[in-house]
A and B are shown apart, each in its own frame.
Chain A
């Protein structure tokens, strides 16, 4: 325990508190990013450099970007309503505060029975080796797998079915985002938003922030094409190649340094997010080409699966990476590359799709196309699709 650690613990609690009470939503997202940065320094102090890398790229970079994109897409750049509190902070919700204070006190009381952090006799540390060896993993990771990075060994060799499941979850998330955001067009057709139908007078003010939505659907390609300051574009032009190469390096050096596919993948993904920040996320998806992203994700999963099932040829057991004997480090590296491809593709796709939709899908730009009546809300699917199609044809001919 050092003064730095205590200062960091205080820092993360204070930034979390500010995130909770800020009325200004951009402010809340910014303090949340600061919280993530604080946490990633905590990981570094707790001797978890690989987690710190992931957290810095995901929490402070990609997650903040996703939140900002969601705020822009929902035109929520203004602070939360004034009636909820003062100029800067939200009003304290007394019942909620009472409940969570009870929770906090109960948790603090419970954790006081934990062994001290860093105590060598703590069960979480000592019980993994009954003989009391200070470095139990060093022996069998070195002997079994032949690579020094124990985290990579756990992820890719001992628990690779879990890791595969998590990769599938990440891929499923992409599919989920695509389904949720494209349903508008594929199932329902373009629809007006309910508040605009009930309160047409609100439409202008609300749409200024999201930009572009008031244009006709047929000639709009991206929700918000914008021009960024040359300072930002120059800085990003300089930094992005380095970030990208660093991500590739992390992916390829997963066996011998605190790195791997997850870390490399998120760093590569954040490089593309930076490009999107400077040049617009819509043009970025055109530049990267969505087929390349799909190929990266499919190729990554394919590489993982083929290495995992290649073990069947040796011992008859799928996912038994140790079956490759001396070639195991190579198999681990191949799987890391697969994970890197998948996670890089997932991170890039999530941000870009949430922000801009895919090329053939003009996002939800159709939902307030021309103010025409799209029929009652509860009309059934086919009718709605039919009327939507009619509306769109009408819109294009005018």
Chain B
């Protein structure tokens, strides 16, 4: 039995995760695919932090009165966000490099160009 009122962020996770996968499957544009990966990543963070939440909880900063939320998910999500943006930058650098090589960021066109190289023929379908 799905209870949207008490699981709202979990359901948002399911939706955003699926949307991220959809972008990865659907768009041939490589920059769009990087955005899709980031959507998937953020949706997983949403589960982590939601799971550590307590009703009426204070931030895990022991100057206020309890109850406090679980600080462990915060610690891992915090570092994962920074690592995620670093890895996205590497992915985007690879996209820029591919564009330098092939003049396009469309995976189908890149695959066609690679196929051309392998067969040594000029592909008439390419543009």
Interface residues of A (CB under 8 A from B): 1, 5-6, 9-10, 12-13, 16-17, 19-20, 25, 28-29, 32, 35-36, 39, 42-43, 46-51, 54-55, 58-59, 62-63, 66-67, 69-71, 73-76, 80, 90, 93, 96-97, 99-101, 103-104, 107-109, 111-112, 114, 116-120, 122, 124-125, 128, 134-135, 137-138, 141-142, 148-151, 153-155, 159, 162-163, 166, 169-170, 173-174, 176-177, 180-181, 183-184, 191, 193-196, 198-199, 202, 206, 256-258, 260, 262-263, 265-266, 343, 346-347, 350-351, 353-354, 364, 367, 377-378
Interface string of B102-127 (1 = CB under 8 A from A): 11110000000100010000100011
Q: Which of A20, A50, A149, A151 contacts B22 (CB 8 A)?
A: A20
- Of chain B, the residue at the smallest CB distance from A180 is B93
Query: Can you sample 22 A-B contacts with CB below 8 Å?
Result: A39-B46, A58-B85, A66-B88, A67-B35, A74-B99, A80-B32, A93-B25, A97-B22, A101-B18, A103-B21, A118-B6, A125-B69, A135-B66, A150-B61, A150-B68, A154-B71, A155-B78, A166-B82, A177-B93, A180-B94, A195-B127, A364-B97
Residues in chain A near residue B75, CB distance under 8 A: 151, 154-155, 159
B31 to A346, Cβ gap below 8 A? no
B3 to A193, Cβ gap below 8 A? no
B68 to A195, Cβ gap below 8 A? no
In the complex, chain B residues 1-26 whose Cβ is within 8 Å of any chain A Cβ: 1-3, 5-23, 25-26
A166 to B83, Cβ gap below 8 A? yes
B93 to A20, Cβ gap below 8 A? no
Known A51-B81, A114-B7, A150-B60; 5 more pairs at CB < 8 Å: A29-B35, A46-B49, A46-B53, A67-B92, A364-B100
Give how many A-B residue pairs fall within 8 Å (CB-CB): 341
B95 to A74, Cβ gap below 8 A? yes
A378 to B7, Cβ gap below 8 A? no
B101 to A193, Cβ gap below 8 A? yes
Residues in chain A near residue B82, CB distance under 8 A: 54, 58, 166, 170, 262, 265-266, 343, 346
Main SS class of interface, A: helix
- Of chain B, the residue at the smallest CB distance from A117 is B50
Q: Which of B39, B55, B80 contacts A35 (CB 8 A)?
A: B39
Which of A5, A25, A43, A151 has its CB near the most chain B CB atoms (within 10 A)?
Answer: A151
Q: Which of B2, B5, B100 contacts A109 (CB 8 A)?
A: B2
In the complex, chain B residues 47-93 whose Cβ is within 8 Å of any chain A Cβ: 47, 49-63, 66-75, 77-83, 85-90, 92-93
Given A150-B71, A354-B89; A111-B10 close (CB under 8 Å): yes
Given A39-B42, A137-B68; A120-B54 close (CB under 8 Å): yes
Given A16-B20, A104-B18; A194-B103 close (CB under 8 Å): yes
B86 to A170, Cβ gap below 8 A? yes
A54 to B96, Cβ gap below 8 A? no
A116 to B97, Cβ gap below 8 A? no
